Amino acid sequence: MRCPFCENHDTRVIDSRPTEEGHAIRRRRECDSCRKRFTTYEKVEGMTFMVIKKDGSREPFDRNKVLNGIIKACEKRPVPIASIEKIVDEIERGLNNMMEKEIESKLIGEILMEHLKKLDEVAYVRFASVYRQFKDVNTFVAEIEKLLGKDKKEDEGIADEK
């Protein structure tokens, strides 16, 4: 492993432990030359699949695109980065478990929105407004009303049980 500080190729592992989710190993390393320490993560390489975009073109799945989309939707919201990374891991794992070689971007977007809806409703509406390409304010309001209607029905269901 090359040192990110001095580019030396001789580094050694000081400590290894599994991450919280258990899907990767965190390694603390030290450079033999400059003595600086850094962290690396080792994980099983997932099955690569192609994403079929709206225009019919295909490109390899890039988890960073999913991560950046969620980060942008959650900007200035009280959402910890750990929660965002957990969602990206869940989405990627779910897509890999489908065992498909090609997956439509529309499906990925819908899965992402379901996770965002549970995480932060404002982030969900932000993402949906871009993803679904809201044409006007009425479309935006309709999406919020759907969201509020769902919450209202859940509240009524709780009241009915009492």
For the stretch 90-136, pLDDT in tens is 999 899 888 899 999 999 999 999 999 999 999 998 898 887 777 77
What is the spatial distance between Cα 110 and Cα 91, in angstroms, rounded to a whole number? Answer: 11
Phi-psi region of 61 (alpha: psi -120 to 50; beta: other; left: phi over 0): beta
Per the model's pLDDT, the better-predicted residue between 85 and 137 turns out to be 85
Q: Residue 66 pLDDT more than 90?
A: yes
Give the global pTM: 0.61
* pLDDT tens figures, 12-30: 999 999 887 777 899 999 9
What is the spatial distance between Cα 114 and Cα 119, in angstroms, rounded to a whole number? Answer: 9
Mean pLDDT, rounded, of the chain: 86
- List Cβ neighbours of 98 (8 Å cut-off, separation of 6 or more): none
List C-alpha distances in Å: 52 to 97, 110, 114.
Answer: 17, 14, 20
